Amino acid sequence: MAETFKLRVNGRDCEVQAEPATPLLYILRNDLKLKGTRFGCGEAQCGACNVLLDGNAVPSCDTPLWSVPGHEVTTIEGIGGESGLHPLQQAFIDEQAIQCGYCIDGIIISAVALLRRERDPSNTQIAAALDRNLCRCGTHVRILRAIRAAARAMRASPKT
C-alpha cells in the first residue's frame, strides 16, 4: 500500500506517495523528474544510479524509499548551483573526460563524496572511490586526471 514520504532532495523538501520498498531511483526519475540519475544494472553493481545520501555515494537502485526520510539526498542536478558548475563538473569538461555520458553522473557523485572526505586523494584512494563505477568508453585516464584537477582547484578555493 502506498504511503506518503517526506524527502529532502537537492536542498528542497518534497513529498511523494509510493510503496515503501520502491527504489529511490524510481522516485527520483519518475516522480521528481530528476533524469541525471541513470538506471544501469538495477543491482547496485555499476554506479550509474549513484546519489549522495548524507554525503556518501550510494546506489539509488538499491536504496528503498522507506530508508530515505530524515536524510539529505543530492543528485547530479544538486551538484554545483546557480553560481556555476562544481569544480568536478568543470574539470570533466576541461579534461574531456566524458564520452557517451551514461556513467559520468554516477562517477562525479562518487568523486564528490571522495573529495568531501579527502581534499588531496592519492591515486589509490581515487581508484577505490570509483571501484563500484563501471565505464566502458575508455576515458579512465581522463577521468582520473579530471578528479585530480578538481581536487587541486578545490584546495585552492576555500569556498568549495
The whole-angstrom separation of Cα 13 and Cα 111 is 25
Going residue by residue through the chain (160 aa), what tens digit of pLDDT does each one get? Answer: 899 999 999 999 999 999 999 999 999 999 999 999 999 999 999 999 999 999 999 999 999 999 999 999 999 999 987 888 999 999 999 999 998 889 999 999 999 999 999 999 999 999 999 999 998 888 899 999 999 999 999 999 866 5
Rounded to two decimals, the pTM is 0.94
Query: What domains, with CATH codes, occur in the chain?
Result: 3-78 (3.10.20.30), 87-156 (1.10.150.120)
Within a 13 Å sphere around the CA of 155, how many CA atoms are in the beta-carbon half?
A: 12
Q: What's the pLDDT score for residue 159?
A: 67
The whole-angstrom separation of Cα 85 and Cα 37 is 17
The whole-angstrom separation of Cα 156 and Cα 28 is 33
